[in-house]
Amino acid sequence: IATRLAHGTALEKLGKGCEYVIALDGDTKNSTFSIKFRDAFPNRFVECYIAEQNMVQVAIGIA
């Protein structure tokens, strides 16, 4: 299994196992397969686009 596909699959399984898992994405959902998480849990997926610095701040706020 490809590493990127494994990432998306594992993230989706984590989401199924714990309702507190939230995924942040820096506009890489297609290449990292985090789109699988987004499709399964759209209310727990935050698209931050290519503003990685802002994504860190969002993560701090969520934590």
Q: What is the pLDDT of residues 1-59, one digit of tens each?
A: 789 999 999 999 999 999 999 999 999 888 999 999 999 999 999 999 988 899 999 99
| Candidates 12, 19, 47, 52; catalytic one | 52
The parent domain of residue 30 ranges over 3-62
- Is residue 33 within 8 Å of 58, Cβ to Cβ? no
Residue 12: active-site member? no
Distance CA 39, CA 48 (A): 16
Structural domains in the chain (count): 1
Give the global pTM. Answer: 0.86
Inter-residue contact 22 to 62 (CB < 8 Å): yes
